Amino acid sequence: MDDLSPRLRAVADLTVAKMREEAGRHEYDGRTADLSPEGVRAGLTRLGRGDTLDDPHDETHLRAVEDALRVEFGELELHRSNPMPHLDELDLACYDKPYASEAERRAARLSHLERWPETVRAAVESLDRVSAPVAASLLGAARGLAEAIPADAPEGVRERAHTAHRELVAHLERAAETGDPSAALGGSALARLMGVSEAVEVDLGRMAERADRERDRLRARLAESAARIDPGRDPLELARELVRDHPDAAGVVEAARTWTTHAVAFTRERDLVPWHDGDCLVETAPASRRWATAMMTWAAPGEPDGPSYYHITPPDPGWPPAEAAEWLEMFSATTLPGITLHEVAPGHFSHGRALRRAAGPVRRTLFSAAFIEGWAHYAEELCVEEGFGAYAEEVAGDSGFSAAHFEVGVWLEALIRVTRLAVALGVHTGAMTVEEAARRFAADTPLAGPAALAEARRATFDPTYGRYTWGKLEILDLRERARRRWGADFSLRRFHTAMLELGSPPLGLLDTALERG
């Protein structure tokens, strides 16, 4: 494991949960970040203290992360309005991954649990600006934290943890009832939050125009693919019918395992990424993480190698059958292949394998969320270009699944991602309520009911979740520049390797891949 410089350590101390799980910095096992008002103020004063890095790219990368923390915790004080960083610090699911012996992880989980009372006190002290929509959106995740409290923990530790947990949930329940009815950050705040971390200036008006252009392009691609299935149907109407063909709640994980095998094999066959090693397991998401339908927990750069986990969130067993069926449409036979390419290979899982080989602690520790999600979203369209549809049609046999079905699934997922960008802009500039955002998802995507509402609610506590489309578009633009600059020497393998050698760079630094690739 790399030793962290004072500057990197200051960043890590403010983002303990991310450091432990995403970067594999297990010196933070059993610890939580101090996100109390005083703890945040003290953490901010330590940022930037230390030597300038020798590599100008890594120096700019580190500076962008430092500046982003100053915006998040200093200018915008999001630790006062967004429970998500506090929930991350409480989450015990990080110890489920077998990065160390069971005894070591059990001890770390217990030490972490013992910190719950002080971590909750810090959260309650800080969270004095939580809006009603944000609180309502995160109550399920907050309640789910308790499911990870180990039954074999000492009784006193368990009782204190449960008491603290009830205090936090009650605090969020009060906010859900009495908090500000608007979750809007404001346009200038959203632009700062999006741009500073990516080392770019963000113009929300231009971003909205770009989102509209991408939506129109995706609708055209959807129409082309849908016409190969049923040329007489409205494309979105056909898509809504297709997504009703899905596994039941018990079968969705097994279906994801099948497509994981195919995604890994195809990515290796086409040699799309620099590394093809590692194991990826598919499991049900922990209760505290069921705010997302699917996610990847990779073998992180700072920890011993081990399996990565593709987590799937099936519908809540208590939901009415109609709502459960609407949720399962997100894992339909049409869409699950593309989702799996995004989460596994050549998406997040493959990226995680490259991160383990990235040079230096900055690239192995500090990750641009827009690049992470942009890369995985780019991977879906890349696989359309590279012929995964024909590959999937062949392995599906006589099931009726065709290349056109796969393409429809990719375009549908992309429409959901571009709608996230439009909704984030709408909700946080105050132009759109959560209910209106849910209707936007229902109108522009195949999502309906609780699935559309879950996507809309996510905008309240994840205001930059338009990063999927943003990152994808930036990577596609970079690829065109690489084709022009490298000419006959261009190849996808060279281009992907040049980017992934940078780890997970801020979008504003992507040109380094062209200069050094």
- What was the pLDDT predicted at 290? 64
Q: Residues near 509 by Cβ (< 8 Å), separated by ≥ 6?
A: 57, 60, 61, 64, 199, 502
- Summary mean pLDDT of the chain: 95
326: pLDDT confidence band, cut at 50, 70 and 90? confident
Question: Which of 36, 29, 361 lies closest to 14 in space, CA to CA?
Answer: 36
Q: What number is the average pLDDT over the span 495-511?
A: 98
Would the pLDDT of 1 be above 60? no
Q: State both tokens at 92.
A: 């015990």
Rounded Cα distance, 226 and 220, in Å: 10
Rounded Cα distance, 131 and 71, in Å: 19
Would the pLDDT of 90 be above 80? yes
Q: What number is the average pLDDT over the span 411-418?
A: 96
Q: What number is the average pLDDT over the span 99-117?
A: 97
Rounded Cα distance, 289 and 141, in Å: 6
Q: Residues near 167 by Cβ (< 8 Å), separated by ≥ 6?
A: 120, 124
- What was the pLDDT predicted at 74? 98
pTM of the model: 0.94
Measured torsion, CA atoms of residues 307, 364, 505, 213, in degrees rounded to the nearest 10: 20
Sequence letter at residue 493: R
Q: State both tokens at 516.
A: 């050094």
239: pLDDT confidence band, cut at 50, 70 and 90? very high
The pLDDT tens digits of the residues spanning 25-63 come to 999 999 999 999 999 999 999 999 999 999 999 999 999
Contact 472, 478 (CB under 8 A): no
Cis peptide bond prior to 346, omega within 30° of 0: yes
Would the pLDDT of 2 be above 80? no
Rg, Å, the chain Cα set = 22
146: pLDDT confidence band, cut at 50, 70 and 90? very high
Contact 124, 171 (CB under 8 A): yes
291: pLDDT confidence band, cut at 50, 70 and 90? low
Q: What number is the average pLDDT over the span 129-139?
A: 96
* Exposed e or buried b per residue across 165-185, where buried means at least 16 C-beta atoms within 10 angstroms of its C-beta: beebbebbeebbeebeebbbb
Q: In 3-state terms, what secondary structure has residue 329?
A: helix
318: pLDDT confidence band, cut at 50, 70 and 90? confident
Rounded Cα distance, 29 and 109, in Å: 8
Rounded Cα distance, 371 and 304, in Å: 24
- What was the pLDDT predicted at 292? 65
Rounded Cα distance, 131 and 326, in Å: 28
